[in-house]
Amino acid sequence: MSTPDTPPVVSADVLVVGAGPTGLYAGYYAGFRGLSVAVVDSLPEPGGQITAMYPEKQIFDVAGFPSVRGRDLVERLLEQAAPFGPRYLLGHRADVLERGPDGFAVTTHLGTRIEARAVIVTGGIGTFTPRPLVPAAAFEGDGLAYFVRHLDDYAGTDVVIVGGGDSAFDWALALHPVAKSVKLVHRRETFRAHPTTVAAVRKLGVELVVNSEVSRVLGTSEVAGVEVKSGEGARTLPCGRIIAALGFTANLGPLLRWGIDVENRRHIPVDAAMATSVPGIFAAGDINDYPGKVRLIAVGFGEAATAVNNAAHHLDPAAPVFPGHSTDEPAPARV
């Protein structure tokens, strides 16, 4: 998407900061409104957290899809936006924001300057770093993973999942029919995961090793097993692959220096138009906040449309906020 010959200056009507599902939909909707758009993201691929963390995970709360795999949802969003030719700058971290009489300029950490008349921040939780499984750190990339990118990589192997949240149990469900065996290790007897998912994992017969922690990983060049300790002593579990689903830490990074009001260094307050404290800058998706906020992909899509429509009106006060329904328009021609 972004190439080594990316020009030093890119111009667009709207700059979308973040290429997760909300940002990709904002890119589509800006095109639908007749606006040129650039989409910037620090990750090398579009899709945000879904691509980086959950590409194989089934998502059940997107309208029109009883179930859709994460990577498939991202592909459909890219396909939807493609006719309008959004400019993607991937592997570029939005760094410095400048305000001017004609809008904004954002310079990325690679030195590319993006000039836009409005900005829509869809950065999710910002940059995210997995919490480490310290005893297994030496095996990162050689048997230890934090996210499952391809289920087939685990076919026929003994898998130990460490964690007690939704991700840990989602991976247990997904890997059970693929792996030779799946065991889930958690330091407590209770779980943060949704009770329905926990019940489904129990029904499959996945062994839940509770009140236990991984104390040592066996093996030299590759994982050969894990030792877990509890109040009852230590035991060794057969293991060829470890998934550490321990959550992650998030950081809004340079966005904190943009002069936008931010609550608790985590969320950007917005009004009903998705407008931030800075005129011309809007926010949608998990990064924004307002009374009654619900953090779902489905909600982010609606917020993206709201942000784009109000950005269009901000750029041209004569333009209506509501442009009419897409069914009233001819099918878009591919750019």
User: Which residues, at least 6 apart from 50, have a Cβ–Cβ distance to it below 8 Å?
Assistant: 20, 21, 57, 59, 70, 71, 73, 74
Six-digit token string for 97 = 């924001």
Angle CA(159)–CA(165)–CA(167) in degrees, nearest 5?
Answer: 55
Give the per-residue pLDDT at 54.
Answer: 77
User: Looking at this protein, which amino acid is placed at residue 120?
Assistant: I
Alpha carbons 105 and 30: distance in angstroms, whole number: 18
pLDDT (0 to 100) of residue 187: 95
The model's pLDDT over 54-95, given as tens digits with 9 standing for 90+, comes to 788 888 889 999 999 999 999 999 999 999 999 999 999 999
Say what the pLDDT of residue 192 is.
93
Residues of the chain with pLDDT under 70: 1-5, 126-128, 250, 329-335
- Is the distance from CB of 250 to CB of 262 less than 8 angstroms? no
The domain defined by 132-244 carries CATH number 3.50.50.60: yes
Reference 239, options 140, 183, 158; nearest CA is 158
- Which residues touch 108 (CB under 8 Å, ≥6 apart)? 40, 89, 92, 93, 94, 95, 114
Is 290 part of any known ligand binding site? Answer: no
The reported pLDDT for the residue numbered 169 is: 93
pLDDT on residue 254? 87
Domain parsing of the chain, residue ranges: 9-128+248-328, 132-244
> Is 80 within any annotated ligand binding site?
no
pLDDT at position 329 is 67
Tokens standing for 212? 């236990």
The reported pLDDT for the residue numbered 330 is 62
Residue 1: predicted pLDDT: 52
Task: Tell me what pLDDT residue 123 has.
Answer: 84
* pTM for the model: 0.77
**Residue 7: its pLDDT value, please?**
75
Query: Was 54 annotated as part of a binding site?
Result: yes
**Does residue 107 have a known ligand-binding role?**
no
In the structure encoding, which two tokens stand for residue 3, read together?
């190439």
Question: Which CATH architecture best describes the domain 9-128+248-328?
Answer: 3-Layer(bba) Sandwich (3.50)
Pairwise CA distance, residues 87 & 335, whole Å: 11
The verdict on whether residue 29 carries a ligand-binding annotation is no
Give pLDDT, residue 322.
86
Instruction: Say if 9-128+248-328 and 132-244 have the same CATH topology.
Output: yes
94 is in an annotated binding site: yes
In this structure, the strands spanning 268-269 and 127-130 are unpaired
Q: Three-class SS of residue 273?
A: coil
The reply to whether 327 sits in an annotated binding site is yes
What pLDDT score was predicted for residue 52? 77
> Does the annotation place 49 within a ligand binding site?
yes
Summarize pLDDT for 7-54 with one digit per residue, the tens: 799 999 999 999 999 999 999 999 999 999 999 998 888 998 888 777
Tokens representing residue 164 in the block: 């007690």
Beta carbons within 10 angstroms of residue 280's beta carbon = 17
